[in-house]
Amino acid sequence: EEVAEAIRQYVIFYRGAKLPESMDDLLKGLPQGSHQRMILRASAAIDPLSEDGKWRLIKADVSTLGPFARRVQNYNGGVLPTNPNAIFDRWSGMLTNSLNTQLDSDDEADDFDIVTENQPFIGVASQDKGKSVIAYYGIENHSKWVFTPLFRGMGNSNFVRPQPQPVQIAPPDK
């Protein structure tokens, strides 16, 4: 989740014109006056489940990001959540028109190329193909968990934010 937040800050800083191409881009931080503003801790740049410690970089294309988007959509009752910022709509828009809602098995890991640097990316995933102990968006396989700033907005239009209720104060006893 920390990497997804760092990607979000990076993309917003560059107004959607540039994606990070390596974890080093996120570790360097963003220019702020004469200094760099840190957006990612070094320990978060390491995939704790992979042998080499490198995250798999997820391209912003249908073949790479599409399966995760479909799983999120299925988990969310057929609705793909919106994005927290309109800058991200350019990437999720291409996915929305290409998704099918077929369910697939989360028991088996997807076949994927392991790319860990020199590629523009909108998310990261573990290289580990093992089954997880917990579910992330209903997904129980580490390699299918994609940490991305996409799909972080309101998911279901039936969501109603709880409103604070006034507290009733009893009159003091005499």
What's CA 91's distance to the chain center, in Å? Answer: 12
Residue-level pLDDT at 104: 55
Beta bridge partners of 147: 124
* pLDDT at 93 (0 to 100): 82
**Phi, psi (deg, nearest 5) at residue 135:** -105, 145
Query: Quick one: pLDDT at residue 51?
Result: 93
Domain ranges of the chain: 46-147
Q: What is the pLDDT of residue 101?
A: 52
pLDDT at 117: 74
Exposure string (b/e) for 67-105, b if CB count within 10 Å is 16 or more?
bbbbbbbbbeeeebbbbeeebbeebbeebeeebeeeeee
Task: From first to last of the 174 residues of the chain, give the pLDDT tens digit.
Answer: 999 999 999 999 999 999 999 999 999 999 999 999 999 999 999 999 999 999 999 999 888 898 999 999 889 888 889 998 999 998 888 787 777 655 555 455 555 566 667 899 999 999 999 998 999 888 999 999 999 999 987 655 444 434 444 545 556 665
pTM above 0.85?
no
Residue 80's alpha-carbon distances to 74, 109, 127, 161, in angstroms, are 8, 22, 25, 19
State the average pLDDT for the chain. 84
53: left (phi over 0), alpha (psi -120 to 50) or beta: left
Instruction: Tell which residue, 31, 21, 3, 14, has the closest CA to residue 119.
Output: 21
